[in-house]
Amino acid sequence: MKSLKIFGYFILFSFSALILCAVVMTAVLLSLPNVKTLETCFTTSMFKVKLCPGTDQYVKLKQISPFMVHALITAEDGSFYSHKGIDWHELQESLNANLRSGQIRRGGSTLTQQLAKNVFLSNEKSIWRKIKEAYLAYSIERTYPKDVILEKYLNVVEFGPKLYGIKAAAQHYFQKPPSQLHPLEAAYLAFLLPNPKGYSKSFRTGRLTPFARKMVAVILKRMSSFGKLSAPAYQTAISEIGSFPWGELTLASFEGTPTYSLDATGDSGAAALDAETLEAIMRDEGAQGEEFIDFNAEDEE
């Protein structure tokens, strides 16, 4: 009888704890910002960027080179058009890679999760923040079509020290509007995203590091495999990688008309480069002193 009574208390305690956790989590989620704030003019939470359609720095998606959009998706979130805010397959792959390496090498965040974090949250490292991020990402996906999510992301994401949004990035790195970015420039800007402060040193030194050169090549290859870069354009891009920052090249230098048909036609499961691929790249190219950061890993700075 005494053991049954203890067991009963244990069950009651466990049930009460679950109820309390549910109440706390519900309260936390209900306290989150309304994702419809994205339709207004406001200042983002993480980097204090003014996100406001109609301002000089804001650009519509159709004012951004399709190559930039395709480079972004293939580098950061290959399953963007098939997931609902959270890529469960990529999360599992990230978990497996992290367990194998014994450290955090893949973050598994989708573009929608990154948007939610940049706009509404902070860079705090905690399970609570990840829960909030996932909930907000799901809410954003339920509220807005994919092209709106891409547009907001490209207007707020960090491309370098105190450099936010694609318009500022295109002007800073290549002295042109986002609409005129060619495949090499788009691949370079996509390459910067996991660690913009660190990876932008190629621009500061005026030449690509071996690591940067290989990453740009990988993004171009994936754009080609997704059907977003013609074979002649891909060959031109590969042959010109060494002429960074590509001042002599324009959109007309690349054969094939870019398209705003944004859905990926290649292997949508290739959401991020795996740890082994990145390690092989660094070994092959002799990337001395380069910090290992996967395309989907979170910026530690």
Mean pLDDT on 149-172: 96
* C-alpha closest to that of 287 among 210, 198, 193, 224: 210
Are 94 and 106 in contact by the 8 Å Cβ rule? The answer is yes
Q: What radius of gyration, in Å, describes the C-alpha atoms of the chain?
A: 21
**Residue 34 placed within a domain:** no
Tell me the angle at which helices 210-225 and 183-192 cross, rounded to the nearest 10 degrees: 120
CA pair distance 6, 23, nearest whole angstrom = 26
pTM: 0.79
Are 91 and 108 in contact by the 8 Å Cβ rule? The answer is yes
**Residue 275 placed within a domain:** yes
DSSP string, 155-171: HH-EEETTEESHHHHHH
**Residue 10 placed within a domain:** no
CA pair distance 205, 33, nearest whole angstrom = 41
**Residue 235 placed within a domain:** yes
**Residue 14 placed within a domain:** no
Mean pLDDT on 80-89: 83
Which residue segment(s) compose the domain that 252 sits in?
Answer: 47-285
**pLDDT confidence tier of residue 24, bands split at 50, 70 and 90:** very low
Q: Which of 124-128, 227-231, 272-276, 278-282 has the highest mean pLDDT?
A: 227-231
Query: Considering only 180-189, 277-286, 288-297, which range has the smallest mean pLDDT?
Result: 288-297
Are 179 and 65 in contact by the 8 Å Cβ rule? The answer is yes
**Residue 53 placed within a domain:** yes
Sign for the CA dihedral angle at 293, 299, 300, 301 comes to: positive
Which tens digit of pLDDT belongs to each residue from 171-220? 999 999 999 999 999 999 999 999 999 999 899 999 999 999 999 999 99
**Domain CATH number, residue 64:** 1.10.3810.10
Domain count, the chain: 1
**Residue 109 placed within a domain:** yes
**Residue 250 placed within a domain:** yes
CA pair distance 184, 250, nearest whole angstrom = 10
The pLDDT value given to residue 102: 52
The pLDDT value given to residue 10: 56
Q: 2: exposed, middle or buried (C-beta count within 10 Å: 0-12, 13-18, 19+)?
A: exposed
